[in-house]
Chain A
Amino acid sequence: MNQDEIRDRLQSAAGCELEMRTSRGGDIVIDLTPERLVAAVAALATEDGPAHLSAITSFVEGSDAILLYHFWLGLGLTLRVRCHAGSSTVPSLTPSLPAADWYEREAHDMLGICFAGHPNLAPLLLSPDWPGPPPLAGEEQAP
């Protein structure tokens, strides 16, 4: 897939114009709102199958959480989703893309983001008796 085809597919799934920029390292980055995510990822599928999801990165920016969905489609594509703190619920990709399963669980562990529709958001990495808060949510940690 090339850049133009990616943009066309995502724009028709999102129903609006989308801005593309390139990050250092070469990935194309596109911003999406949470409710457009599942349809956008579905639009990237080919006859070979769903898009190859490499990773989901999450971090805190101010009082918001940012989720980056990294795909490899012959070139690197990152979908950037902002969720506002307080209503940190993002639709889960797992029901349509099993690859997202543990990456979403990890984001839940590390930042406390909830993924609506995820079959099992149990702690993946943290000990079951971890008292909280989520380690990368920007608050002070219990040792």
Chain B
Amino acid sequence: MTRITVPIGPQHPLIKEPIAIRLDVQGERVLAAEIGIGYVHRGLEHLLQRRTYAQGVAIVERICGICSHAHTTAYCQCIEALALLETPPRALAIRTLLCELERIHSHLLWLGVLAEAIGFNTIFMYAWREREQVLDIMEAISGGRIAHGVNVIGGVREDVTAQQARQALAMLNALREQMRTFVDLVERDRSFLRRTQGIGRLTREDVRAYGIVGPVARASGATLDIRRAAPYAAYTWLHVPHAVLVEGDVLARARVRVAEVQYSLSLCEQLLAALPEGALTTRSPRRVPEGEAITRIEAPRGELLYYVRSDGSDKPARVHARTPTLPTLMALRTMLPGLHTGDVAAVVAGADLCMACADR
């Protein structure tokens, strides 16, 4: 049978962002895949060198709309380390609360996107409908559904009132009930299992070779979770449960993420019940002392690393962000070959790619 090249993208229905995937296909079997990125490259690292540190928070928030809070958390944390600031405990707790709410909304979003890619539109609608409640909580606290603007260098800009906390707890309780649908889906639903089980396997060796992080790595037996390995913000006093499987297929990734949503619901409840008293920010200098700092946090997709270098002025000399999607994208060249062409959608959508994060 002849080999043909199937070009997917940059405009395609698989994920909502531009990516170019060239598949070498023989019959219905994928033989090789080449990935092209850069369509969403906005030169942010260059732009950040021409803005003040404070302006940088708004820019960094817009690297990615889905994990915007993770980016600002890592950026602010990095500059706080550089400037040797003591961020108040209440601010750290509110930051952590939004990190976990963002993890819930990101995982539910992903579940809907995967379901839509394999034709299970009902789950797409259900997942995004339940996700709205999480966006409501974030909007009540910050005023924004997607871009929250909560983090500032030195702390947070918005407080969580007692009433907001009560409303949030009620919504999270309701969401916990609704999660049963998704638990049933990933544990028992036969059509979902048939489309995702045994597909797109990544071994533990692949994870180490490509440096894959996040739920994709934890579905293949790796245990790295920065919240546990190098606790930051309020994770220094929260207990973060483990969600690790070994099968390494799309189904395992789905199960890990559904488990993580349930753990995140508990973490949010713990935080809301025990927000420390105190200030929301500490004074941050306009000019940051000379030096460099590296910080790692656990974004919804995995280890997010920020490097900031200061030359003593009010603008950073260098900001570098390594987003967790990049290793997963590199590993697509391993995940796609050998697949039936009909399974490409499940693997690509199931990898939780974020091109905005990857391209910056």
Residues of chain A touching chain B, judged by Cβ–Cβ distance below 8 Å, are 23-27, 48-50, 52-59, 68, 70, 72, 74-76, 78, 97-99, 101-103, 110, 123-127, 135-136, 141
Contacts and interface: CB of A to CB of B under 8 A. Distances in A.
Contacts of B263: none
B296 A72 contact: yes
A98 B305 contact: no
Interface string B30-47: 000000011001010110
A103 B322 contact: yes
B57 to A, nearest CB: 18
Contact of A59 (B81, B82, B317): B317
A70 B307 contact: yes
Given A52-B211, A55-B307, 16 more contacts: A25-B78, A25-B82, A49-B208, A49-B209, A53-B211, A54-B305, A57-B322, A59-B309, A59-B320, A75-B230, A78-B294, A98-B209, A125-B359, A125-B360, A135-B46, A141-B46
19 contacts: A25-B82, A25-B294, A49-B204, A49-B205, A49-B209, A52-B211, A53-B211, A55-B305, A55-B320, A56-B322, A57-B307, A78-B294, A97-B209, A98-B209, A99-B209, A99-B330, A102-B326, A103-B322, A124-B37
B210 A125 contact: no
Contacts of B45: 110, 136
The 8 closest A-B pairs by CB, nearest first: A49-B208, A55-B322, A99-B211, A25-B293, A24-B293, A125-B38, A125-B41, A57-B320
Nearest to A101: B330
B296 A76 contact: yes
Q: Which of A97, A125, A141 has the most CB of B within 10 A?
A: A125
B158 interface: no
A66 to B, nearest CB: 9
A72 B296 CA distance: 10
A67 to B, nearest CB: 11
Contacts of A103: 322, 326
Contacts of B230: 26, 75-76
Contact of A48 (B43, B208, B211, B317): B208
Nearest to A98: B209
B295 A25 contact: yes
Nearest to B359: A125
A25 B291 CA distance: 11
B292 interface: yes
Contacts of B293: 23-25
A76 B303 contact: no
Contacts of A141: 46
Interface string B319-331: 0101000110110
B294 A70 contact: yes
Contacts of A98: 209-210, 330
A74 B43 CA distance: 32
A53 B209 CA distance: 9
Nearest to B212: A99
B195 interface: no
B3 to A, nearest CB: 20
A27 B81 CA distance: 12
B164 to A, nearest CB: 32
Contact of B229 (A49, A74, A126, A127): A74
A124 B19 CA distance: 12
B41 A126 contact: yes
Contacts of B307: 55, 57, 68, 70
Contacts of A23: 291-294
B317 A99 contact: no
B157 interface: no
Contacts of A136: 45-46, 318
A56 B330 CA distance: 15
A59 B208 contact: no
Nearest to A60: B318
B84 interface: yes
Nearest to B217: A52
Contact of B296 (A54, A97, A102): A54
A49 B210 CA distance: 11
A27 to B, nearest CB: 5
